[in-house]
Structure 1
Amino acid sequence: MNKYKLLAGVLLTMLMTTQSLAEVIAMDKTPHPGHYLKSLLAQYPYPEDILIILDLDDTSITSPRGQLLGRSDMFYHLLEKEQKAHPEKTKEALAESIDPLLVEVYKRVAVVPTDEVLPGVLDDLRERGIKVIGMTARGRKIANVTQQQLERAGIHFTDTGPDKVFKLSGDRSIKLVHGVVMVSHGNKKGETLVELLKQGAFKKPEQVVMIDDRQSHLDDMAQAINDYSAKIRFNPVLCTYLETQPEFDKFASEDELLEFLHDWRQDPEVNKTIKEDPYTQKVINQCGNVFGRNKRFCEALGGMLQAP
């Protein structure tokens, strides 16, 4: 992290205190969120009511180097394929159709923190009374397996008590599970935070620090905070972890997915997903045309679909 850039951001914030708009510190970037937070809170006095928000996929947790299953790139690739195949369906509906297969993947593939010091830094922040929460666009159906992944990666956020569901406008809702906000498909992170503050899930903070690997989420949060309260200082941080990793190979990720289904096909839960989940069956039915390198996997899985 560029310490001079951080100092400039802090000075800029001090100069902006008389403005009517919410204070937004110049966006920073880091591939190492744990090191960033450790350094950030040692650089200058932070307010007592500071709220730190971390995205999950490829910001807090990720796949080990060389494994594509479990990366957010894989989900967005699968979703893009479905959008092209079914333009008449909503993005939210298509994302939810993929979730049952992802649950089985997330349960079984390896997961690690993006930054080896992040688990210890989060523990230290909690011990110092600093509220730090996770926030993810994952669907609510993946809440339980998400908690399993975080536990395996050693990531623990602030304890927010029993699971809670909060209503948004219309028939939408979000879920708060052990310090993780399940924003769900189609909802915005900025809208979600503001609604949680309005409904008393968290005390209104003096400063919000948000680390996310997607610029759109940071921009949305900045706008939502500005519309909600000009007194909240916002510190956006773009996580560039994936820029340190090999470029995502969508074809290799599909190969890994097919191999995963083949290797785990006798597992009762995976077996049930193969035989009952429409999206998983679609992946298998298409694999003969797409996965020439894995013909034997296609034949074995295809045979399962035809069996009584």
Structure 2
Amino acid sequence: MRFMIMGAGALGSYFGARLQAAGHDVAFIARGAHLEAMQRGGLRVRSPLGDLDLPQVRAFDRPEAAGDVDAVLFMVKTYDVETAGRSLLPCLTPETIVVTAQNGVTAHQRLAKILAPGQVAPGMVYMPADVVEPGVIRHSSDFNRLVTGPLMDGRRAPLEAMAAALESAGLEMPLVADAGPSLWEKFALLASVANVTCLTRLNLGPIRDTHETNVLLRAALDETMAVGRAVCPGLELAAGERAWDLIQSMRREVHASMLDDLRRGKRLELDDICGEIVRLGAAHGVPTPVHGFANAVLRPYLNGTPD
């Protein structure tokens, strides 16, 4: 298949590298030093599941330079969804599938206002990764999962070829019947880890080692689950326990990508993580003190490290 990785940061570069190594045609859309490094020297992946060294990759700064594609892994930051979505239009055929993979619960809905709903499917990535230096990706877990729901017009069959392609590359792509509960289960995990790792500036290991911060982590998860159950009645209570078990089993060095952005002085996805929970909690009468505190404390860093 012909793939485009729209937003080839840590996660996108990892998925794209695996797909290229398996023989698929992959175009990476990136920017800055990471783009320059890929254009100059290719892409390297360091992973418990096996390292990769790709001396050459097709890396561009604009989607139209890549030509038509069969499938897009849409992995831009939440605040870039609309701009990036419009830039995709010249590359899409009527059969092209676009799978979102943002740190929130609304990206697929926002993108479907720009593209045809029958082209967009919500996706949830389960794996931590970071760009340790331009052109070098570190994957720090024993799993690399992209859970995908049906296309927004209800069809599932067009996603099956894409799932087979990812699985041929050693990537998991389970298809679910209803994306709503899956989105919220992933969001509960992501939001709690993002908020507490950013508040403490620590990886999960020392957070779990300390009783008080581990309790805070659980409170953040429970708050998100409470909001999620108000918004999405199909979200099971057991989803919170699954998310908690996964958090407790993750490697000690794991942290949220928002902490990477915070450390590097970059813009934060605060409005679509803490802010989203606070807004939805207020709308549904669900208290959100932990996320409200995180939203307030991190707000000065919204657009990068303040002067």
State TM-score, norm by structure 1.
0.28
Structure number with bigger Rg: 1
State TM-score, norm by structure 2.
0.28
| Greater relative contact order, per chain length (Cα 8 Å cut-off, separation 6+) | 1
